[in-house]
Amino acid sequence: MREVGVPHPRLPLPEPGQRDEPQAFHTWLAEAIPMVEHLGIREMRWEGESLVWELALEPNLNDKGTGFGGALTAQTTLLGWCWVTLWLRERGYARDVVVAEASQRFLAPVTGDYRLTCSAQSEQGPATLVERLASRGRGRISLVQQLWCGDTPCLEAHGDYAVLPAG
């Protein structure tokens, strides 16, 4: 059971240059952030430089029988946090990451199980983050998250995530 004000222990870093095993990270994430086990995440995986979640709609239903906007917003924000955290871990950084700014645009109702994807908003984003971490000890990156029901885009979100200084 988590306690208010007590940080959850960090997951040990993977071997240098290796990615976390997504299922092990998902298990840790559900312990660190209790609401995760209620989000309907069925699978977490990398596809190239995009982090992908497969989700069930049922735990995220609204009163109309479609996806609840608040749940979808929380998922896009958390997916971005996971992208940055996993990306940093692969490079040997154990850092705190926070969302600095987020916005969503709802395009269509979510009417079935769905897929969320997250990637850097620009190709230069990751390189710029590495440069800022080296020169300033902290940095920021802009990400884009997209929600798909089959081939239908239902939501697009943008988030800026801050990587805090070590310490």
Give the residue among 118, 120, 114 at the shortest CA–CA distance from 39. Answer: 114
pLDDT, position 125: 97
- pLDDT tens digits along 66-85: 999 999 999 999 999 999 99
Residue 58 pLDDT exceeds 80: yes
Segment 127-134 mean pLDDT: 96
pLDDT, position 167: 77
pLDDT, position 33: 95
Which band of pLDDT confidence, cut at 50, 70 and 90, is reported for residue 91?
very high
Domain 22-108+123-163: which topology?
Answer: Thiol Ester Dehydrase; Chain A (3.10.129)
The whole model's pTM is what? 0.95
* Cβ–Cβ < 8 Å for 153, 147: yes
For the chain, which residues make up each domain, given as ranges? Answer: 22-108+123-163
Distances from the Cα of 75 to the Cα of 36, 128, 129, angstroms = 9, 25, 23
pLDDT, position 31: 94
